[in-house]
């Protein structure tokens, strides 16, 4: 059974960098695209970006200047870095799998991790 687990600090200071890791278990990270999505009460669900196991990425234009997604195939993990955070980046952050054959749907999600940006 494939499982995804987000991990990282739950509190980040304004202007600092938010860093999260998604650990994949039950399957190799080398077979799919992987994505980060966040959810806020105000803006709802927002796609952040995705990465392929070879390191190729695509980011949301609204976050592109601040986002970096990376992958570590040896650890079966991928990570999100979001720089220069503000209170608007307070959200629940989800990682998700993007399999082939489903039209880029997110078929398996982590449970999500709440990140608060506050001093």
Partner 1 sequence: DIVMTQTPLSLSVTPGQPASISCKSSQSLLHDDGKTYLFWYLQKAGQPPQLLIYELSKQFSGVSDRFSGSGSGTDFTLKISRVEADDVGVFYCMQSLQLPYTFGQGTKLEIK
Footprint on this chain of partner 1 (rule: CB under 8 A): 44-47, 58, 60-62, 94, 96, 102-107, 109-112
Q: Are 81 and 63 in contact (CB under 8 A)?
A: no
Question: Could you tell me the smallest distance in angstroms from the CB atom of residue 45 to partner 1?
Answer: 4
Nearest approach in angstroms of CB 57 to partner 1 is: 11
Q: Which of 80, 107, 82, 84 is nearest to 96 (CA)?
A: 107
**29 or 67, CB closer to partner 1?**
67
Q: How far apart are CA 92 and CA 116, in angstroms?
A: 9
The CA-to-CA distance between both ends of the chain, in Å, stands at 39
Give the nearest distance from C-beta 104 to partner 1 in angstroms.
4
Comparison of 74 and 103: residue with beta carbon closer to partner 1:
103
Q: How far apart are CA 38 and CA 43, in angstroms?
A: 9
Minimum distance from residue 20 beta carbon to partner 1 (Å): 14
| Cβ distance to partner 1 smaller for residue 16 or 46 | 46
Query: Which of 58, 116 has the CB closer to partner 1?
Result: 58
Closest to 33 in 3D by CA, of 119, 112, 84, 107: 107
């Amino acid at each position: 059974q494939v499982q995804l687990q987000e991990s990282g600090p739950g509190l980040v200071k304004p202007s600092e960098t938010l860093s999260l890791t998604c650990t994949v278990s039950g399957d190799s990270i080398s077979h799919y695209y992987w994505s980060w999505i966040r959810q806020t009460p105000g803006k709802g669900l927002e796609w952040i970006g995705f990465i392929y196991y070879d390191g190729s990425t695509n980011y949301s234009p609204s976050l592109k200047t601040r986002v970096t997604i990376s992958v570590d195939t040896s650890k079966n993990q991928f990570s999100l870095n979001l720089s220069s955070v503000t209170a608007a980046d307070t959200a629940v952050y989800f990682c998700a799998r993007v399999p082939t054959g489903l039209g880029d749907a997110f078929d398996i999600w982590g449970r999500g991790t709440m990140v608060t940006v506050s001093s």
